[in-house]
Structure 1
Amino acid sequence: MRKARALTLDQRSWPLIAVLAITGACASFMFTLVMPIQAQLPQLLDAPREATAWVVTITLLTSAIATPISGRLGDLFGKRRVILLLLITLIVGNILAAVSTDLTTLLVGRALQGLMSGVIPLGIAVLRDQLPAKRIGGAVALISGSFGFGSALGLPISSLIAETMDWHALFWIASALGVALFALIALIVPKDTAFATGGFDYVGAFGLSAGLSGLLVAIAQGNAWGWTSPLTLGFGVGGVLLLVAWGAFELRLADPVVDLRVAARPTILMTNLASAALGFAFFSSAVLFPQLLELPTSTGLGLGVSLLSMGLILAPAGLVQIAMAPIAARMNRTVGGRATLVTSAVIIAFSYALALLAATEIWQILLANALIGAGIGIGFASMPMLIMGAVDSTETGAANGLNSLMRALGTSSSAAVMGAIQAASSAGISGPTAGGFRLGFAVALGAAVVAGILALCIPKPRPVHAVAVDTSVDVAADSSARTSEMAPESALETA
């Protein structure tokens, strides 16, 4: 009887895990989708380069806004329903981009594509609801790894499409992918049975969106506008003030869009701060390594490879992230999420130390980037487990959404800081200098060290004593096992 039930769970689990992992990879693919044509956009759209830069920025902006809000919507109205809604926005956004001949239409399409990022915390929440406890760790690690996997593999794929077809084909193919995923989600993901209580905080959602928009616009455009320009200061300071006012408003509500009281719990607070630092360290490699690979050899720094070759050289990092999923799950189970997150930070810091010592050959960059992928695969898998161990099942979507938001703030800050470092190092000359790259690697290494220190500040979980569980109460066993990130699998296996 037990074997038959386990077989049924396996048969149901693997399609669910696979489709959610592919959906998460698709969401991250949207970020690298336009990178091969970014330099050509001013000519393709007959628009100034400063304006076409928003084709990338607006996706980052809507992604950061959508992630925590979609998590709360999923808790309230059903995670499956919200995932399907986000897939519809992805399809519509890609169709608009595919038929666009002007910048405005393309920006609207790209903004809708960015909303898709909300599926990653929702997918993690679905796994917690639907899987037996012993399978959650590995499944969450795979979903978390899919974010880097989609970004890493998306670059060579989009490069190949852009080189062999009209640039609009990028979005038609992404539209077809969205349609296929919509059908798979509707077919495979079960309907929700547990919902959070209360209503949706529309005022809070607007305040969060406005505050984040101001802050992220200032970060993204600081290099172009100047960090002390009135525009940058206006958006940045205005965004911070709006977020402070929003936080004060949220604390007065019984059902806020983001429960700051939950976010202030030591485990969640330290995990989220470590997420921001780890996101900063992770994205630094996405800024520095492509430049090193693509710069002409005449500069004395670059390796002069093509865009497609660059994507293929960096793609193994995404494969490593996926390969680390079972290892991360085992580490979460045996040593706990806190130690796993510290290990992630140590690996990434070591990778940047290697880059500081030697990043002049293709194999050196490939090795350092792959090690960063390994560290990120472990770290991104540990954070949702830490979060889920500190919240109720009806808070999972919103809590993981906030964690993804902190990671997004780290990545966007990294892009701005690394861009500023490279711009400063190239002042008065034709391109970045060796000193600029060394400083960038050193700053990224520092961010990884900060992430490790913050992870060490996460409170140790209270020990859980294994209790014999009868097979007739498997549901109760699953629920009990999920209350701690430590030993949920071993408790079930003992039972």
Structure 2
Amino acid sequence: MTSPAKRRTDYRLTFLVLCVGVASFSLLQSMVNPVLPTIQAALDTDQATVTWVLTAYLVSASIFTPIIGRVGDKVGKERMLVVALGALAVGSLLAAVAGSIGVLIAARVIQGIGGGVLPLTFGIVRDEFPREKVASAIGTSAALLAVGGGVGLVIAGPLVEALSYHWLFWIPMAMTVVAAIAAFVWVPESPERTPGKINVGTAFLMSAWLVALLVGVSQGHHWGWGSAKVVGLFVTAAILLPVWVLAETRSKEPLVDMKMMRIPTVWTVNLVALLFGMGMYSMFAFVPQFLQTPEVAGYGFGLSVTESGLMLLPQTIASFIGGVAAGRFATRFGSKNLLVVGAALTAIGTFGMAFTHDEIWMVLVETTILGLAFGLAFAAMSNLVVAAVPQSQTGVASGMNTNIRTVGGAIGSAVLGTVVTSNLQPIGVPTEAGYTHGFLLLAITSTAAAVVAVMVPVVKAKTHVVPGPQAEWEAEHDVATSASASQP
């Protein structure tokens, strides 16, 4: 039973709590990347092993994001939000005090459970906020993923130089503890619930094919793309994925409803998410490396980790502005149009990175364009998916969209890493052609994302509603999609 204090909670306070949780998760996605060499030296391990600090987090978040979202749909989103934030806090504490690489990797697995924060946030916003505020709130919280990713890259270097890499975990831990307590005290429990039990069998199948795919993709560069381990993982994923889909289709209580996944708006936006994720996460990973390349290589600027992070500050600001403005733009122009613009701007920015990167101001302009694109597209994708599904499936639908975007990022980063490092100079850095070809590849995937975005169906308001439970969703659906129903 919801307490009177929770019932009286202003939705703006709820939104503040949700934003702190999303920001904490987002920071943990990116802050560790620039300082892996520091962690490797501090924990006396090798490069192949330290990459599991990233892989473990990626795989765990990919598994738990849709699962936590679905559990929230069934047992209560506020309750699962506290669980997800608690996992982030516990994982961050364990990572901060870890004295060995094994403990740190285990801590990152626990942190990945916090991936459920994002779909739970979208569900709570849809359940609790005034309808006219839903689009802007979802847009802002979705954009925080891109903003947090940029902020993590900006502050990682200065933080490690001033203190130590342990503070990369102490700070998110403090944020998530505060957010978890605030969520427990103030965030109201969801009125919408999906009856039934959690399908453990299909959850296991989904986890198995995701682990096989993501471990293969993430470690392929180190193990060799043609190695027995990598090929075996890809074959396993290729077998288990259709088995999982078949199991979900035949299940009376599916974890992920395949009928929902076949909704035209949902599957087209998910395809955009896959292609878009390939570009966004890869740019987060490789632009700092490009900026840090010594000028003796014939390109690059020889910046330090701190300096390269600060160079991405305009991108981060642009992401935040795009996300905050997306709600108002969606009301006027439609979320579909914002998604097309975001994907197109991503293509423009990556084409620019491929061919005009000789001066620092060029890179600043291009990354700022990318930041604006990320903010707009993240908000638009989230609003389109949330509006296209029944309220009781908000968590799992947005969780799968986030998950697919993460899978795209893993694939894109792996492919870009192979392309960029295919030819190395005698000093051990990639040739300029490697980066040119890599950025060009991302420009092509971003262009494809824009083309698919044009094909996203626009939901039109219904003129007749049949009485019954579905009618309640259709009435809500019409209101929720009004911000995304503008024709292109």
TM-score when scaled to structure 1? 0.91
Alignment of 1:374-453 (within 5 A): 374-426=372-424, 430-453=428-451
The amino acid that maps onto 1:130 is E
* Structure 2: distance between partners of 1:299 and 1:72: 49
Structure 1 match to 2:468: none
Cα 1:304–1:132 change in 2 (3 A) is same
Structure 1 residue aligned with 2:17, among 6, 19, 22? Answer: 19
Please report how far the alpha carbon of residue 255 of structure 1 lies from its aligned counterpart in structure 2 after TM superposition. 1.3
Structure 2 CA distance for partners of 1:398 and 1:486, relative to 1, 3 Å: closer
- Give the percent of matched residue pairs that are identical in Structure 1 and Structure 2: 30
Change in Cα spacing, 1:225 to 1:206, as seen in structure 2 (3 Å) is same
**Cα 1:138–1:63, aligned 2, differ >3 Å: closer, same or farther?**
same
After superposition, the C-alpha distances for 1:124-152 in whole angstroms (9 at most, x for unaligned) are 11100001110011101100110011111
Match for residue 175 of structure 1?
A: 173
1:304 counterpart residue number: 302
8 Å CA contact 1:461–1:484 kept in 2: the answer is no
Specify the code of the residue in structure 1 equivalent to 2:223.
Answer: W
3-state SS of 1:122 partner: helix
C-alpha distance 488-278 of structure 1, shift in aligned 2 (>3 A): closer
- Contact kept, 8 Å, 2:342 with 2:374, in 1: the verdict is yes
Offset of 1:91 from its aligned partner? 1.5
2:319/2:372 contact within 8 Å kept: yes
Q: 1:443 to 1:487 in 2, by over 3 A?
A: same
Identify which of 270, 273, 280 aligns with 1:272.
Answer: 270
Matched to 2:315, the amino acid is A
Equivalent residue, structure 2, for 1:219: 217
Q: What 5-or-longer segments of structure 2 have no aligned partner?
A: 1-6, 466-470
Q: Which secondary structure state, in structure 1, belongs to the residue aligned with residue 40 of structure 2?
A: helix
CA–CA separation in structure 1 for the residues paired with 2:236 and 2:230: 10
2:157 alignment counterpart: 159
Name whichever of 301-310 and 311-320 sits farther off.
Answer: 311-320
Question: Using a 3 Å threshold, how does the CA distance of structure 1 residues 339 and 488 change in structure 2: closer, same or farther?
Answer: closer
Distance 1:413 1:325, change over 3 A: same
SS in 1 for 2:421: helix
How many residues matched?
475
The answer to whether the 8 A contact 2:18-2:179 is kept is no
Aligned partner letter, 2:243: A
- The answer to whether the aligner puts 1:285 opposite 2:262 as a matched pair is no
Q: Do 2:461 and 2:478's aligned partners in 1 also have CA atoms closer than 8 Å?
A: no
2:69 partner amino acid: G
Q: Is the 8 A contact 2:39 2:165 kept in 1?
A: no
Q: State the match for 2:482 in structure 1.
A: 487
Please list, as runs of the form range in 1=range in 2, the aligned pairs for 1:64-463 lying within 5 A after superposition.
64-426=62-424, 430-463=428-461
Structure 1 residue 84: Cα displacement: 0.5
**Paired residues of 1:336 and 1:485 also in contact (CA < 8 A):** no
CA contact (8 A) 1:223 1:416 kept: yes
CA–CA distance in structure 2, aligned partners of residues 365 and 410 of structure 1: 24
Deviation at 1:178, TM superposition (A): 1.7
* AA at the equivalent of 1:402: M
For structure 1, list consecutive stretches of 5 or more residues without a partner in the other structure. Answer: 1-8, 468-475, 491-495
Match of 2:195, SS state, is coil
Contact 1:333-1:486 at 8 Å conserved across structures: no
Please say if residues 122 and 386 of structure 2, whose CA atoms lie closer than 8 Å, have aligned partners that are also in contact. Answer: no
CA shift for structure 1 position 489: 10
Distance 2:249 2:475 in 1: 30
Mapped partners of 1:261, 1:441: distance in 2? 36
Measured in 2, the distance between the counterparts of 1:127 and 1:352 equals 33
- RMSD, aligned CA: 2.4
TM-score of the two chains, using structure 2 as the length reference: 0.92
Distance 1:259 1:465 in 2: 27
Per-residue deviation, 1:482: 4.1
Please give the alpha-carbon distance, in whole angstroms, between the structure 2 residues aligned to 1:307 and 1:262.
43
Displacement, 1:90?
1.2
**What is the CA distance between 1:173 and its match in structure 2?**
2.6
Runs of 4+ in 1 over 6 A off after TM superposition: 476-479
Q: Which residue matches 1:40?
A: 38
